Structure 1
Amino acid sequence: MSNVIRSSRAGAVVTLVIDRPEEKNLLTIAQVRELTAAIKEASATDAKAIVIRANGPDFCRGRDPRDGSGAPNALALRTSTLEPILAAYAAIEAAPQPVIALVHGAAHGFGTAVTSACDISIAADTARFKLPEMEHNLPPTLAMSAVVPNVSKKALAWMVFALEELTAEQALQIGLVSTVVPEAQLDAALDKVLATVTSRAAPSLVAVKDFLRVAYHMEPRGLADYSANALATVLSSRER
């Protein structure tokens, strides 16, 4: 793993830091792959939470546009450039632990998508969100796929077609982030939620994460059965 994605563990929390501030935390596809690998590695541990944050003035301004694909055809382009991005979103969703984004500065493109994909997203009041791909006539369908579960069609269409950069408060209103705090209180807000999460038993955390993963895709009767089975499993476990 390069120095762009730094991983550390303190107690029951694994923290992943995007550390390319000199490039506004723009990520190449290789670095997106590194982030995915780091998420998967953290997922395989007994950590109770995974935090994704960034060093420098911005969270992540998206994919580095200078990172050309060089793919000769559509299939090769999908394999080399598009699927690694989708894999990052999938790794966040598949992690058994809650994944928490700590967002400040600009979160554009991939940065907006990661914010949405995480289970909890804490935004500084100075954070800004945008899907800018249509400025280059590129439909941001990959990022949109990560945003769709959390925001309305109207809100997403506005972000894409109007190309408006949203404030943190606007992002909160449409469901893109969980909460907004003054930037100076960002770490304190993270510490507070981590104290709560890590004090809970692992089976309960996993059950909630699993439920959130499937709940919005199930019909009501099946969802009711799933919820009963999930709760019964936790109640019968030794640790809860």
Structure 2
Amino acid sequence: MEMLERRDTSGIVHLHMNAPKRFNALTDDMLAALQAQIDTLKTDRSAKVVILSGAGKAFCAGHDLKEMQAGRAQDDKGRAYFKDLFTRCAKVMTGLQRLPQPVIAQVHGIATAAGCQMVASCDMAIAAEDTKFGVNGVNIGLFCSTPMVALSRNIPRKQAFEMLTTGKFISAKQAEDYGLINRSVPAGDLEDETLKLAETVASKLGAAVAIGKEAFYEQMLLPLDQAYDYTGEVMVENMLWRDTDEGITAFLEKRPPDWA
């Protein structure tokens, strides 16, 4: 049984975390498996969309606390191990965002701490209505500082700060209202609704979606005028493509595009 299962169907890559007894915790092995897939997907031209899901009762419960405590058994009390762990985790989170393919989190059960960070790091997210979200490390004396990075870039600062300082869980409805997820659906519809979204995105010109995803995140880091200058150049490049010419021509001629 693989810890991270991959299944490809019609341009959609399904990555399924398969460690249900550990609530799909981000162990060293799980982080390595996720990073390996991210490295592969960077250059996978057949992949248009990625769905990330989890087996069992939870999407992801964050870091494995038993593994973290074992990391303390070093001369430096674990300083080097912890630094490496959080660096590896950050590489996975930023790697999801930097993939050319949109990544959709299919969330159920709970998404806590680094698991909530993973949801926030995905480009889109659909959750079952009974899902709970939290950055609850403060409850055990560990402030969720790295999950805070992704969380605070998804939801308003006061809601993020309340979650971080109280350790309280929020419902899927609250997560939707805050902007952490796109929408919540009945649990029985979760897989179908996520797939429907993935299929819609996969039907578009993959190269256009890829260049658009990169530009989406890059322009957010720039002042307004620079953002327009940058995205204007992106659109110029996009307009010069053969497939974009074909897409516009097909639209004007009221026919499906013949993309290469």
Is the Cα–Cα contact under 8 Å of residues 14 and 42 in structure 1 kept in the other structure?
no
Instruction: Provide Cα deviations, 1:20-69, integer angstroms capped at 9, x if missing partner.
Output: 11222223123112212212212320111111101112101111111032
Instruction: Provide Cα deviations, 1:123-146, integer angstroms capped at 9, x if missing partner.
Output: 110111011111111111111111
Q: Distance in 1 between matches of 2:102 and 2:193?
A: 16
| Partner of residue 254, structure 2 | none
Compared with structure 1, are the counterparts of its residues 132 and 31 closer, same or farther at alpha carbon in structure 2 (3 Å cutoff)? same
Which region of structure 1 is more displaced relative to structure 2, 23-32 or 218-227? 23-32
| Partner of residue 32, structure 2 | 33
Which TM-score applies when normalising by structure 2?
0.87
| Partner of residue 255, structure 2 | none
| Partner of residue 120, structure 2 | 116
- 1:147 maps onto 2:151 in alignment: yes
Letter in 2 for 1:66: K
Which TM-score applies when normalising by structure 1?
0.94
Letter in 1 for 2:71: S
Larger gyration radius, structure 1 or structure 2: 2
Instruction: Provide Cα deviations, 1:98-152, integer angstroms capped at 9, x if missing partner.
Output: 0110001111111100100000111110111011111111111111111121111
Is the Cα–Cα contact under 8 Å of residues 126 and 194 in structure 2 kept in the other structure?
yes
- 1:43 maps onto 2:39 in alignment: no
Q: Distance in 1 between matches of 2:176 and 2:157?
A: 15
- 1:4 maps onto 2:6 in alignment: no
- 1:156 maps onto 2:156 in alignment: no
- 1:215 maps onto 2:219 in alignment: yes
Q: Which runs of 5+ in 1 are unaligned?
A: none
Instruction: Provide Cα deviations, 1:160-181, integer angstroms capped at 9, x if missing partner.
Output: 1111111000011111111111
Compared with structure 1, are the counterparts of its residues 214 and 221 closer, same or farther at alpha carbon in structure 2 (3 Å cutoff)? same
Q: Distance in 1 between matches of 2:204 and 2:52?
A: 20
Is the Cα–Cα contact under 8 Å of residues 202 and 239 in structure 1 kept in the other structure?
no
Residue 133 of structure 2 aligns to a residue whose secondary structure is strand
Q: Distance in 2 between matches of 1:191 and 1:28?
A: 27
- 1:63 maps onto 2:63 in alignment: yes
Q: Which runs of 5+ in 2 are unaligned?
A: 245-260
Letter in 2 for 1:28: T
Residue 52 of structure 1 aligns to a residue whose secondary structure is strand
Q: Kindly report which structure 2 residues correspond to 1:1-240, keeping only aligned pairs within 5 A, or say none.
A: 3-46=2-45, 47-67=47-67, 68-70=70-72, 71-73=74-76, 76-240=80-244
Q: Distance in 2 between matches of 1:59 and 1:153?
A: 24
